[in-house]
Structure 1
Amino acid sequence: MLMNFVIKTVINGIALWIAALLVDGIEFGRGSSTWGTVTTVLLVALVFGVLNTFVRPIAKLLSLPFIILTLGLFVFIVNALMLWLTSWLSEKLGLAFHVQEFFWDAVLGSLIITFVSMILGFFNPKD
């Protein structure tokens, strides 16, 4: 169980890092060392995972009429909201992660994170 959580956190970290590389409005602050940057990415991935575990189901439940109305496309907006909330909470915790704009940076970033997490999730032996 703990190992599965660690693997999912690493997958989220890789997905967040790739999104930061591809979307100009998503930024990780540069640490003084490579280890500092990796630590920041993993801590942000942990924040992202906790928010997705506890807040995302509530947000999906509250937005269920919009999800049904848009045939599921509103889920991408919920995912973007989780990324934007991760940015806000990370800044409050002193982590160097920032999403500049909700629309397009967070929406595009959430699409990339979803795609990368899905691809990397195929290699997770626990799923």
Structure 2
Amino acid sequence: MVGILITWLVTTISFLIISRLPIGVEIDTLGKAAISAAVFGILNALLKPVLGFFTFPFILLSFGLFLFVLNAVIFGLAAWLVTGFRLRWGFWSALLGSLALSIVNSVLFHLLASLRL
């Protein structure tokens, strides 16, 4: 349970960081970032395995690059569901935002792991 809360908090901070980058992702407040992180996590847990199963041929043919598209679709769906979370340039903002979220999450989790030791 603690791990889920830490992941949610790190993702919330990541959403706030990427909303400050010039990639077309806009999030109004800290509360909206927290809701966006929760919705993104739930969508990732529920939809990504299903979408990954149905799009497996595309994933295989593109050597895994289609997974970036799946991440962008889930990111865009989260933006569509949460008011106060907008994508200025549509799919391209979702693609850049999902890539930035992955990078920022990785960096923050690496920093958090180094603090625990």
Flag whether TM exceeds 0.5 (same fold).
Answer: yes
TM-score, structure 1 length as denominator?
A: 0.80
Structure 2 counterparts to residues 8-23 of structure 1, below 5 A: 8-23=7-22
Q: Show structure 1 runs of 5+ residues with no match.
A: 30-36
Q: Deviations over 1:72-97 (max 9, x none)?
A: 11111100001100011113xxxx11
1:25 alignment partner in structure 2: 24
Aligned-partner SS, 1:55: helix
Q: Percent same amino acid at aligned positions?
A: 33
1:81 and 2:80 aligned: no
Of the three residues 26, 33, 42, the one matched with 2:34 is 42
1:34 alignment partner in structure 2: none
How many pairs were matched up?
Answer: 114
Deviant stretches of 4+, over 6 Å: none
Contact 2:23 2:97 in 1 (8 A): no
Contact 2:76 2:91 in 1 (8 A): no
1:115 and 2:103 aligned: yes
Contact 1:15 1:117 in 2 (8 A): yes
Q: Show structure 2 runs of 5+ residues with no match.
A: none
| Cα RMSD (Å) | 1.9
1:97 and 2:89 aligned: no
Distance 1:44 1:10 in 2: 11
Contact 1:44 1:90 in 2 (8 A): yes
Aligned-partner SS, 1:22: coil
1:55 alignment partner in structure 2: 47
TM-score, structure 2 length as denominator?
A: 0.87
